[in-house]
């Protein structure tokens, strides 16, 4: 083993890393690394994801996520499995059983980022993925078909406007002194 560099390195000619958190918002991203790992506690397993931002001013930046899917804590497992379901839907594998994390690789989706702050102030702020959404936004409400206007209703409104009296002058009722 050697400690000698193969060539001299001049740090004044290089740019350093920037690890600032990304602003809160939605980003187009894809999973570039995925693996199933055991936490240090030894309790359960989590899906470790590395996301790469694909568009905009932060293109090329990475965000990391852990999704706890198997755990003795029912609450942790439930939260993790809901997030895993969102990941399946967003990447288009919601209609199949998943047994390998590779199915999530290189499929563009939208991720919603927030910022997690350390409550004790010991560690720096970090990005937290709060939602994983399909790339194509789906309407939250079903579309209502357009219905033609009924001439009768329009006639009633028009005639009511002609016969109605103008509002009395003076302060609005909510400004009136009591």
pLDDT at 159 over 80: no
pLDDT category of residue 148 using cuts at 50, 70 and 90 = very low
The whole-number pLDDT of residue 85 equals 97
pLDDT at 150 over 50: no
Could you tell me which of 107, 157, 152, 153 has the C-alpha nearest to residue 133?
Answer: 107
Q: Which residue has the higher pLDDT, 78 or 141?
A: 78
The whole-number pLDDT of residue 15 equals 83
pLDDT at 154 over 70: no
- Distance of alpha carbon 59 from alpha carbon 29, whole angstroms: 9
CA 116, 87, 64, 24 dihedral sign is negative
Cβ–Cβ < 8 Å for 129, 63: yes
- Distance of alpha carbon 31 from alpha carbon 53, whole angstroms: 9
- How many of the other CB atoms lie within 10 Å of CB of 31? 24
pLDDT at 2 over 90: no
pLDDT category of residue 166 using cuts at 50, 70 and 90 = very low
pLDDT category of residue 145 using cuts at 50, 70 and 90 = very low
- How many of the other CB atoms lie within 10 Å of CB of 65? 19
pTM as predicted:
0.69
Q: Which residue has the higher pLDDT, 75 or 155?
A: 75
Cβ–Cβ < 8 Å for 93, 119: no
The whole-number pLDDT of residue 170 equals 54
* Structure tokens, 18: 């920037």
Residue that the structure tokens 């969102």 belong to? 86
pLDDT at 115 over 80: yes
How many residues in the chain?
Answer: 178
The whole-number pLDDT of residue 138 equals 59
113 φψ region: left (φ > 0), alpha (ψ -120 to 50), beta (else): beta
As a whole number, mean pLDDT of residues 111-116 equals: 97
- Distance of alpha carbon 106 from alpha carbon 112, whole angstroms: 17
pLDDT at 110 over 80: yes
Provide the 8-state DSSP code for 12.
G
């Amino acid at each position: 083993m050697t400690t000698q560099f193969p060539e001299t390195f001049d740090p004044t000619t290089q740019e350093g890393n920037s690890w600032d958190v990304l602003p809160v918002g939605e980003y187009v991203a894809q999973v570039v690394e995925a693996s199933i790992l055991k936490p240090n506690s030894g309790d359960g397993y989590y899906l470790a994801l590395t996301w790469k931002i694909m568009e905009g001013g932060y293109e090329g930046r990475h965000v990391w996520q852990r999704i706890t899917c198997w755990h003795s804590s029912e609450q942790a497992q439930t939260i993790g499995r809901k997030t895993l379901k969102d990941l399946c839907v967003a990447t288009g594998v919601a209609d199949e059983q998943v047994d390998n994390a590779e199915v999530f690789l290189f499929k563009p989706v939208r991720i919603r980022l927030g910022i997690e702050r350390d409550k004790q102030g010991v560690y720096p702020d970090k990005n937290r993925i709060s939602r994983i959404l399909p790339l194509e936004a789906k309407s939250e409400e079903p579309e209502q078909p357009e219905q033609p206007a009924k001439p009768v209703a329009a006639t009633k409104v028009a005639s009511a406007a002609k016969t109605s009296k103008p509002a009395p002058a003076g302060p609005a009722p909510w400004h009136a002194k009591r």
